[in-house]
């Protein structure tokens, strides 16, 4: 009887260790779906892939709703107060105050709408929308007109801002990882 209990315990421990050692398991811990209810709701509302929103949140704040950048971008999606105010008016958020950007619900709503707006502005081109999210849409427009940065006026082949270049690569990499990790398992 004692041997049987030991064997069962070893089997259970083995199964637990197998799950613990599963790469997807660890990656899902590093790349979680925090605030999923808001991300999924607003992604659906504004017609955007939720995995792109998760990628932006992961890269921007690593899911810290109290994050504030050196440029005063606030919250999960690192929204500048001016952008927050502009978007709040566009989508009808009454009594908007900058402090709302610390609230995950409002931050995700505003950030997701803005990302959706950028995707529409740049004809669904994720690279350009992500570049604009970080470097500004005016800059992206100028880069597309400059042969040094865009050979065809439709895609960036070279990004003159190193921070934006790194940002695009990071967000697109994390976006692809989210799609691989969750698209068929969730």
User: Would you call 60 a catalytic residue per the annotation?
Assistant: yes
Query: Measured between alpha carbons, how far is 167 from 145 in angstroms, rounded to an integer?
Result: 21
Residue 70 in contact with residue 78, Cβ under 8 Å? no
Of the residues 19, 37, 45, 60, which is catalytic? 60
Q: Which residues contact 163 (CB under 8 A, 6 or more apart)?
A: 134, 135
Query: Measured between alpha carbons, how far is 103 from 109 in angstroms, rounded to an integer?
Result: 10
Q: Which residues contact 45 (CB under 8 A, 6 or more apart)?
A: 112
Q: Give how far the C-alpha of residue 34 lies from the chain's centroid of Cα atoms, to the nearest Å.
A: 11
- DSSP β-bridge partners for residue 53: none
> Which residues carry out catalysis?
60
């Amino acid at each position: 009887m004692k041997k049987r209990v030991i064997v069962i315990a070893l089997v259970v421990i083995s199964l637990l260790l197998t799950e613990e050692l599963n790469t997807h398991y660890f990656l899902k811990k590093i790349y979680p779906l925090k605030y999923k209810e808001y991300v999924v709701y607003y992604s659906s509302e504004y017609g955007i892939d939720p995995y792109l929103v998760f990628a932006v949140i992961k890269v921007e704040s690593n899911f810290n709703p109290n994050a504030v950048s050196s440029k005063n971008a606030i919250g999960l999606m690192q929204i500048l107060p001016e952008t927050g105010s502009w978007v709040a008016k566009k989508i009808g958020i009454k009594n908007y105050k900058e402090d709302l950007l610390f609230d995950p619900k409002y931050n995700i709503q505003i950030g997701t709408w803005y990302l959706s707006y950028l995707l529409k502005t740049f004809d669904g081109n994720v690279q350009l929308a992500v570049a604009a999210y970080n470097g500004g849409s005016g800059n992206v427009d100028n880069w597309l007109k400059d042969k040094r940065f865009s050979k065809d006026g439709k895609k960036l082949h070279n990004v003159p801002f190193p921070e934006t270049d790194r940002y695009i690569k990071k967000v697109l990499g994390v976006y692809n990882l989210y799609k691989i990790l969750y698209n068929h398992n969730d």
